[in-house]
Chain A
């Protein structure tokens, strides 16, 4: 048998009908994650066709994108402020009920951002195929799963058939050599990778992140890296499962138990790419030389070390982006003023992210005039943070502490950045208007975001790390 990549192995074990020159493969989906925004039109198709959800037990729903983060609204003490969001969530609840899909509803203790709850509950498992009507489904690849985002029409396909029509993507190895230095984290690594290969560098392919630096990352850090694969255009990112993965998954509420766990481990250990397997492409990056990174433009590929300068010149799109951001060619980013700081999202809304930000803010106050919002990625993350007292560190520092959800990453629930204001955000997209019409987003790690809140200016987090 020829040496196979992890992608080859997962792909092969999920092919229901092989692809031919004329027709793509019918690919089986193990886990379908759903949320309120990208499903209503899919359920409508099922209803119109008198179809059922083929495997409701392989489908789970949560409310995250348009859900409020203010406790009063979440727990029903006051009405949800945005009427269209309220209606959309009510429709999702109705759909889940009618079609027999489990929903982690608004008051559910396990609710959270779809890409945070999957791993947290142990639903995300190595070797599986995972889809969701959301491009950051790539997050789940951190466990050695093939996980990718789909559109709403495809959500309907999976609901009705548990399958998708797919051509096999190309495999790209992203080899991260050396080790990250102190004060440089997973977010800096993935931003640097996107900066190197561009926002279209991964089109048509699945990334497998490999190398010493990747092996040294915790599961939460691996999720941060895989999460932003889509920002390089790759539909999925994956990391081979290892002891770190198994340790994370052990004893999760929905992980296999007892003999089933042992069988699963045996199978998961066969997943890593074989020695000598060939990738369609290899990308090399040196971790040791990386610094904390921050974006300056209107896509995640427009990124610099925090102590760097914006290039002196570029194409029309570069100038349009700088104009939008209110920056000039050649500007240093350091010390630029900041209005808003957001810590949260499926990229950096997990407990280690909150610990990192809290570590910088402990016993201190954020700068005058800065608004800081800390939004845990799930209710579970929120409970752990509160048990550790992180919420009190944030509130004592002058930040707002909220219920979980996507919040200011996408601004659908009213958590937005005002026109023209600068936001240092731990989310994944700095597109024009992403955090609200006219908002200006600079993407960075939780440490860099907290440092910016503290000083009210863009700051190298290593300067404030005690």
Chain B
């Protein structure tokens, strides 16, 4: 994983609440055996494209203003449902680096962090303001756990210490776990 310190980007807004991972990546794309390439075709496929495969002009990601946006502001309880990690893979592949909501579902949050996609939970009022102001430029600072608005206000968000450390230093959790192998062996020995 690449270390991340700061993300500076305009926002794109999807205000719907309870956006489930079946919407983020529909099941028919799950027969893939790699992580790559889900951004172009699979991400929000049934919202982005009509039944004949043509982009729907009214979907926010198909509008010119969305080009290059790396921060997605979405409604409450983003990423609920299926555990498919294809959801964060697709979001990252498309170019997103952070998701902002008032709540982010547990498994999605865990999967996002492992792919350098920063889950940002804000208070209802601050979130509502971001929803109402799509396209503004914000700066996410991982070290200080803040999201700075154009007027200079810095909104704090919770980020568990270890997750923050992993994002800042590009730490791979698998490497960390493998380094615990003596403890694991001891645990197995005592239980046997």
Contacts and interface: CB of A to CB of B under 8 A. Distances in A.
A200 B160 CA distance: 20
Interface size range on A against B? 35 or more
Contacts of A16: 180, 183-184, 187
Contacts of A28: 184, 187-188
Contact of A26 (B46, B88, B165, B184): B184
A160 B177 contact: yes
B60 interface: no
Nearest to A82: B31
Interface in B52-72: none
A256 to B, nearest CB: 15
B187 A235 contact: no
Interface stretch (B4-12, B19-27, B90-98, B133-141): B19-27
Interface of A is mostly: loop
Contact of A150 (B17, B28, B35, B107): B107
A134 B187 contact: no
Contacts of A433: 22-23, 26, 46
A135 B181 contact: no
B180 A431 contact: no
A317 B76 CA distance: 11
Contact of B23 (A45, A157, A431): A431
Contacts of B162: 22-24, 165
B110 A66 contact: no
B1 to A, nearest CB: 10
A442 to B, nearest CB: 16
Contact of B160 (A41, A151, A154, A167): A167
Interface residues of B, number: 51
Interface in A84-119: 84-85, 87-88, 91
Given A203-B77, A317-B75, A411-B27, A134 B83 contact: yes
A45 B83 contact: no
A162 to B, nearest CB: 7
A443 B174 CA distance: 38
Contact of B27 (A133, A200, A301, A410): A410
A437 B17 contact: no
A233 B51 CA distance: 31
Given A161-B178, A317-B16, A431-B20, A412 B31 contact: yes
B180 A133 contact: no
Given A203-B103, A434-B22, A437-B46, A22 B83 contact: no
Interface in B121-151: none
B174 A163 contact: no
A218 interface: no
A231 B20 CA distance: 10
B30 interface: yes
Contact of B105 (A21, A44, A200, A315): A200
Interface in A309-331: 315-317, 320
B83 A38 contact: yes
Contacts of A65: 30
B18 to A, nearest CB: 5
Nearest to A429: B81
Interface string A137-157: 000000000000111111011
Contacts of B184: 16, 26, 28, 54, 161-163
B165 A151 contact: no
A41 B34 contact: yes
Given A149-B107, A153-B85, A434-B27, A316 B18 contact: no
A419 interface: yes
Nearest to A165: B173
Contacts of A85: 31
B15 interface: yes
A41 B106 contact: no
A429 B84 CA distance: 14
Contacts of B107: 135, 149-151, 235
Given A161-B178, A235-B106, A433-B26, 8 more contacts: A22-B161, A37-B30, A38-B83, A160-B178, A161-B174, A162-B184, A433-B46, A434-B22
9 contacts: A24-B160, A26-B180, A49-B174, A91-B33, A135-B82, A150-B107, A153-B114, A299-B18, A431-B81
Interface of B: 15-18, 20, 22-23, 26-28, 30-35, 46, 51, 75-77, 80-85, 88, 103, 105-107, 110-111, 114-115, 160-162, 165, 173-174, 176-178, 180-181, 183-184, 187-188
Question: 5 shortest A-B CB distances, which residue pairs?
Answer: A151-B111, A40-B33, A84-B31, A151-B85, A200-B77
